[in-house]
Chains A and B, each alone.
Chain A
Amino acid sequence: MIDYNDLIFEISRPGRTGSSLPKRDVDPVDLQDKVPSHLIREEATELPEVSELQLVRHYTALSNKNHGIDNGFYPLGSCTMKYNPKVNEDVARFEGFSRIHPYQPAETVQGALALLYELQEDLAEITGMDAVTLQPSAGAQGEWTGLMMVKAYHEHKGEKRTKVLVPDSAHGTNPASAAVAGFRTVTISSNSDGLVDVEELKKHMDNDTAALMLTNPNTLGLFEKDIVEIAGVVHESGGLLYYDGANANAILGKTTPGKMGFDIVHLNLHKTFTTPHGGGGPGAGPVGVNKKLIPFLPVPRIEKKEDQFVLNIDEPLSIGRVKGYYGNFGILVRAYTYIRTMGPAGLRKVSESAVLHANYLRKKLEPYFESSYSQVCKHEFVLSGSRQKKLGVRTLDIAKRLLDFGYHPPTIYFPLNVEECLMIEPTETESKETIDAFAEVMIQIAKEVEENPDMVLEAPHTTIIGRLDEVQAARQPILRYVKEETERSAL
Chain B
Amino acid sequence: MTSTYRYLPDTTEDQKEMLDFLNLSSVEELFEDLPPEIRLNKELNIPEALPESLLIKHMQKLSSQNKNASQLPVFLGAGTYDHYIPSVVNHMISRAEFYTAYTPYQPEISQGELQAIFEFQTMVCELTGMDVANSSMYDGFTALAEAASLSVSATKRSKVIVSKAVHPESRAILRTAANGPGYGVEEIGLNESITDVQQLQRQIDQDTAAVIVQYPNFFGSIEDLAELNRITKEQGALFIVSSNPLSLAVLQPPGKLGADIVVGDMQPLGIPMSFGGPHCGYFAVTKKFMRKVPGRIVGQTVDDAGKRGFVLTLQAREQHIRREKAASNICSNQALNALASAVCMTALGKNGICEMAQLNIEKADYMAKSLEKKGFIVTNGAPFFNEFVVELPRPVHEMNKALLEQGMIGGFDLGMDYGMNQHMLIAVTEQRTKEEIDQFIAVMEEIIND
Contact status B252-A140, CB under 8 Å: no
Of chain B, the residue at the smallest CB distance from A313 is B416
Q: Give every chain A residue within 8 A of B272 (Cβ-Cβ).
A: 98-99, 330
Question: Does A464 interact with chain B (Cβ within 8 Å)?
Answer: yes
Question: Does B222 interact with chain A (Cβ within 8 Å)?
Answer: yes
Question: Does B233 interact with chain A (Cβ within 8 Å)?
Answer: no
Contact status A466-B7, CB under 8 Å: no
A298 to B305 Cα, complex, angstroms: 52
A46 to B314 Cα, complex, angstroms: 26
Contact status B302-A468, CB under 8 Å: yes
Contact status A281-B334, CB under 8 Å: yes
Interface centre among B22, B149, B277, by most chain A C-beta atoms within 10 angstroms, is: B277
Q: Give every chain A residue within 8 A of B279 (Cβ-Cβ).
A: 324
Q: Given A172-B319, A429-B7, A79 and B102 touching (CB < 8 A)?
A: yes
Q: Given A102-B80, A180-B181, A18 and B139 touching (CB < 8 A)?
A: no
Contact status B349-A17, CB under 8 Å: yes
Question: Does A486 interact with chain B (Cβ within 8 Å)?
Answer: no
Contact status A111-B5, CB under 8 Å: no
Spot the interface stretch: B46-54, B155-163, B441-449. Answer: B46-54
Of chain B, the residue at the smallest CB distance from A257 is B38
Chain B nearest CB: distance from A316 CB in Å?
14
Chain B nearest CB: distance from A120 CB in Å?
12
Q: Kindly identify which residue among A178, A277, A352 contacts B103, using a CB–CB cutoff of 8 Å.
A: A277
Interface centre among A36, A66, A180, A353, by most chain B C-beta atoms within 10 angstroms, is: A66
Q: Kindly identify which residue among A41, A42, A65, A175 contacts B249, using a CB–CB cutoff of 8 Å.
A: A41
Contact flags A448-471 to B (C-beta < 8 A → 1, else 0): 000000000000100111111110
Docked complex: A246-297 residues within 8 A CB-CB of B: 252-256, 259-260, 268, 270, 274, 276-283, 285
Which range holds the interface residue count of chain B? 35 or more
Question: Does B343 interact with chain A (Cβ within 8 Å)?
Answer: yes
A276 to B7 Cα, complex, angstroms: 15
Docked complex: B97-141 residues within 8 A CB-CB of A: 97-104, 106-113, 115-119, 121-123, 125-127, 131-133, 135-136, 138-141
A71 to B35 Cα, complex, angstroms: 39
Q: Give every chain A residue within 8 A of B310 (Cβ-Cβ).
A: 468
Contact status A39-B222, CB under 8 Å: yes
Contact status A472-B302, CB under 8 Å: yes
Which range holds the interface residue count of chain A? 35 or more
A360 to B19 Cα, complex, angstroms: 8
Chain B nearest CB: distance from A36 CB in Å?
7
A330 to B139 Cα, complex, angstroms: 14
Q: Kindly identify which residue among B32, B132, B361 contacts A31, using a CB–CB cutoff of 8 Å.
A: B361
Contact status B404-A38, CB under 8 Å: no
Docked complex: B274-302 residues within 8 A CB-CB of A: 274-280, 290, 296-302
Contact flags A382-416 to B (C-beta < 8 A → 1, else 0): 00000000000000000110010000110000100
Docked complex: B41-68 residues within 8 A CB-CB of A: 43-50, 52, 55-56, 58-68
Contact status B47-A343, CB under 8 Å: yes
Contact status B102-A101, CB under 8 Å: no
Contact status B138-A137, CB under 8 Å: yes
A41 to B131 Cα, complex, angstroms: 17
Q: Kindly identify which residue among A25, A83, A319 contacts B433, using a CB–CB cutoff of 8 Å.
A: A25
Contact status B100-A50, CB under 8 Å: no
Contact status B43-A480, CB under 8 Å: no
Contact status A63-B49, CB under 8 Å: no
10 shortest A-B CB distances, which residue pairs?
A: A325-B276, A111-B65, A96-B63, A343-B49, A278-B336, A102-B276, A280-B335, A68-B100, A66-B112, A176-B319
4 additional A-B residue pairs with CB within 8 Å, beyond A65-B109, A341-B55? A41-B250, A56-B92, A96-B64, A111-B63
